[in-house]
Every structure is written in structure tokens, then in C-alpha cells.
Amino acid sequence: MAGFKDISNGEWYTGVVGAAFEAGLISGYEDGTFRPNAYVKREEAAAIMVRALKFAGVKTDLGDSKTDRYLAKFVDEAAIDSWAKTAVALAVKHSVLRGYGSGEFAPAKTNTRAETAVMIIRMLEEADFI
């Protein structure tokens, strides 16, 4: 399915994963897997939300702003994987994601369902869908 080694055609989520892949919302991991049973990290959620904004027609570039400007407020900025820095900065710029009161972004923290719901609502608001 969509080139993912770990997704079979008969799984209940096969069609949804395929649609998300075709829309450019997900790309999977470098080893060719999707990891359907893995939890989503905050930095991964940022990438998906920014891709969803772009898919919805929202301009998703930093313009003359720098990635560092949006990431500097996080005490754990250095913990954000290099591949995710631009996505996290864009998610912050578009108010889809925020840090915690401690000043952390916590890029490797697993998203809760509540956090994910809030991100989706913010993304839909930013795209003027709701």
C-alpha cells in the first residue's frame, strides 16, 4: 500500500493512510515503513499539520522570517530534529502548536488525543474551514 512495507491491503486503515499519502500529508519513514501502531510525536504532528495547511491553500512559508525566530522561545529547541525545525516553526507561526508553560516544546513527546484535537481545530481555523 502506497509503498509502505508495513501496511497490508486488508487493514481497516489502509484507505485512510493511502488518501493521506496521496494528499501529501504523510510520507512515512526513511526505511519505507509507516509504523501504524506507533504514537505520533509532537514534531511529527507539526509536519502533518503544516502539510494539511498547505493542502488547504494556506501559504506555508516563513517569508522573510527565520525559523530560529519561532523556535528560540523554546528551552529545548536543540532537541527538535533538524528535519522538523521548519515544520515546527511554521506550526508555531500559524498558531497550530504552542509550547508548554515550562518553556518546552517537547518535540519527542507523544501527542495526547486532546492535544491532537486542539491542533486539528487550530489548523482548521487557520485554514478558515471553521
Instruction: With cut-offs at 50, 70 and 90, classify the pLDDT of residue 1.
Output: low
pLDDT tens digit sequence for 94-123: 999 999 999 999 999 999 999 999 999 999
At 64 the pLDDT is: 65
pTM of the full structure: 0.90
At 38 the pLDDT is: 94
pLDDT tens digit sequence for 23-77: 999 999 999 999 999 999 999 999 999 999 999 999 998 876 788 899 999 999 9
Kindly give, in sequence order, each residue whose CB lies less than 8 Å from that of residue 34, ignoring residues fewer than 6 positions away: 2, 4, 6, 7, 17, 26, 28
Burial call 71-105: b when 16+ CB within 10 Å, e when fewer = beebebbeebeeebbbbbbbbbbbebbebeeeeeb
Residue 110 per-residue DSSP state = B
Mean pLDDT of 6-25: 92
At 75 the pLDDT is: 97
At 10 the pLDDT is: 86
Pick from 9-13, 31-35, 76-80: least confident: 9-13
